[in-house]
Amino acid sequence: MTPKGHHQRGYLPHRDYGGALQAITFRLADSLPVHVVEKWKAELQSSEEENQKELTRRIAHYEDAGHGNCHLRDPEVAKIVQDALIRDHDAEYQLIA
């Protein structure tokens, strides 16, 4: 399959380069409610760059606090996700960790 380079599929930017290492982070929808992010955006009135840095910091801190149902703590649910990731290892991607 030919790498597509930098492209979008309508919602998030993608970088598809042959041999590139990429990290993927999973976050469940209830771990960071939309209303929390919208409230922070309304509070932040600094420059766009400073705004983005502070928003990113707040999101990371909130995610690390373990809000929401934390379904991936359930060993059965975690096993389903693990199996899905391992299934395409070496066929679609090289899973490192």
pLDDT of residue 78: 92
What does the alpha-carbon distance between residue 97 and residue 63 come to, in Å, rounded to a whole number? Answer: 21
Q: What is the pLDDT of residue 76?
A: 97
Residue 22 has pLDDT above 70, yes or no: yes
What pTM, to 2 d.p., does this model score? 0.54
Top pLDDT among 50 and 77 is at 77
What average pLDDT does the segment 1-20 reach? 72
Q: How many CB atoms lie within 10 A of CB 29?
A: 9
Query: What's the pLDDT tens digit per position in 26-73?
Result: 778 888 988 998 999 888 876 677 788 888 899 889 988 888 888 888
